[in-house]
């Protein structure tokens, strides 16, 4: 993937971090999801007074993209930090990795983690979710 595209995705995730709704944890997360046809969808974590009702940024981004009719994805950039201050990488939780697995080729889908456009670490979904369970296990 083009380096400029990776930087654009990281920048986009950072630009939306302030939209995170995290009054309970104080931990803001933002994700920018790139479809295979070049569209970008955003998600932030959206917490709830009934804690389990909250949703992570990554799954919010997938829900937005799938709701708009997209099923094929190339990459996701994720950033996060306490009160929106990015101090280190923000790795996706296990549930979010599994949601990525539903729609993405584990060997090809890229997860971009970093603290800015000049600090982007790149992982395949396979690297972050090895030996995974997916649609093929259920014949799909």
Whichever of 74 and 96 has its CB closer to ligand THU, that residue is 96
Neighbours of 13 (CB within 10 A): 30
Q: Which residues contact 47 (CB under 8 A, 6 or more apart)?
A: 21, 22, 23, 24, 25, 54
Out of 9, 32, 45, 100, point to the residue binding ligand THU (CB under 6 A). 45
**By CB under 6 A, is residue 99 in contact with ligand THU?**
no
**By CB under 6 A, is residue 12 in contact with ligand THU?**
no
**By CB under 6 A, is residue 127 in contact with ligand THU?**
no
3-state secondary structure of 31: strand
**By CB under 6 A, is residue 61 in contact with ligand THU?**
no
Whichever of 58 and 101 has its CB closer to ligand THU, that residue is 58
**By CB under 6 A, is residue 32 in contact with ligand THU?**
no
CA atoms of 120 and 89, how far apart (whole Å) = 9
């Amino acid at each position: 993937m083009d380096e400029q595209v990776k930087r654009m995705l990281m920048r986009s995730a950072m630009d939306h971090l302030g939209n995170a709704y995290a009054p309970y944890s104080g931990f803001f997360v933002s994700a920018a999801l790139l479809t295979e046809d070049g569209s970008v969808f955003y998600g932030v974590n959206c917490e709830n007074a009934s804690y389990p009702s909250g949703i992570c940024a990554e799954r919010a981004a997938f829900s937005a993209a799938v709701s708009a009719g997209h099923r094929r994805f190339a990459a996701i950039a994720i950033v996060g930090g306490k009160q929106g201050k990015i101090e280190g990488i923000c790795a996706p939780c296990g549930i979010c990795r599994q949601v990525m697995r539903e729609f993405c080729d584990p060997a090809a889908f890229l997860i971009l983690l970093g603290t800015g456009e000049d600090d982007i670490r790149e992982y395949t979904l396979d690297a972050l979710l090895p030996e995974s369970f997916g649609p093929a296990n259920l014949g799909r």
